[in-house]
Amino acid sequence: MSSESQRAKHVAIIMDGNGRWAKRKLLPRAMGHQRGVEAVRELVRNCGDLGLECLTLYAFSSENWKRDEQEVDDLMNLMRKFIKSDLQEFIDNKVRLKIIGDWQGLAPDIVEMLEDALAKTSAGDHTIAVALNYGSQGEIARAAAKAATMGEVTTESIGLHLDTADLPPLDLLIRTSGEVRLSNFLLWQSAYAEMLFVDTLWPDFTVEHLQEALDNFAGRERRFGGR
């Protein structure tokens, strides 16, 4: 398959490296997370122009509860602040917000804010999917359990019950900060996704970095097991 003109429709990012960014600058970790939110904001503003149908962002994993209470609190407060300050921008930029993961398990006030944001952005023409309290193994287990109640458990029936069922197939998975692992993110969806691991720490990741990643993707040859 010639891949010269292929364009990514669905990109996912493991936004890693906020803590190391702060450490290098002798700042508190919370500052790294705050700058990380600013990087997210820039992508939200531009992802329509990049031609993406969906950008999926790993914001908080089901394992991140293991962090100390102060850091978890800081992250939850940043989330509250971000929804309040940026919801109107989502609407103005025609972004449809989607949340994946066990987000109903977050604090009730955050769940309420998210429900409101989901309703107000439902008419958007491209999607930002945010993974909150997300773990891929849990997602697959939930999907398999649902599939089992409805009939035969097959790859198709599991796929239909994943949190991402209504999203286009994943084309490209990016992880920042130099770590080369998936950390329980989109394990099922990554079966044939292209992967890109970059050293940039998340707060330094810009629209130009994303454009570079898309250019890199455009030149890859995908085979899906064929030849």
**What CA dihedral angle connects 94, 100, 105 and 107, to 10 degrees?**
-30
Q: Which does 196 bind (CB under 5 to 8 A by kind): Mg ion, ligand IPE, none?
A: none
Run of H or E residues at 38: helix 29-46
Q: Tell me how many residues contact Mg ion (CB under 5 A).
A: 1
Closest to ligand IPE by CB, 18 or 93: 18
Collapsing DSSP states into helix, strand and coil, what is residue 14? strand
Cα dist from 44 to 38, 39, 93, whole Å: 10, 9, 8
Q: Which stretch binds ligand IPE (CB under 6 A): 60-68, 111-119, 136-144, 147-155?
A: 60-68
Q: How far is the CB of 16 from Mg ion (least distance, A)?
A: 4
Among 13, 14, 16, 44, binds Mg ion (CB under 5 A): 16
Residue 16 annotated in active site:
yes
Residue 18 annotated in active site:
no
Closest to ligand IPE by CB, 23 or 96: 23
d(Cα 152, Cα 156) in Å, to the nearest integer?
10
Q: Which of 16, 74, 163, 171 is catalytic?
A: 16
d(Cα 145, Cα 123) in Å, to the nearest integer?
31
Q: For the chain, how many residues are written?
A: 227
Cα dist from 45 to 7, 97, 148, 171, 200, whole Å: 19, 13, 40, 21, 20
- Contact map string, positions 96 to 135, toward ligand IPE, x by CB under 6 A: ----------------------------------------
Across 80-189, where does the E strand assignment appear? 95-100, 126-134, 172-175
Q: Which of 46, 64, 184, 216 is catalytic?
A: 64
Closest to ligand IPE by CB, 60 or 90: 60
Binding site for ligand IPE (CB under 6 A): 14-20, 58-61, 64, 75, 177, 179, 181, 183, 202
Q: Which residues bind Mg ion (CB under 5 A)?
A: 16
Catalytic residue IDs: 16, 64
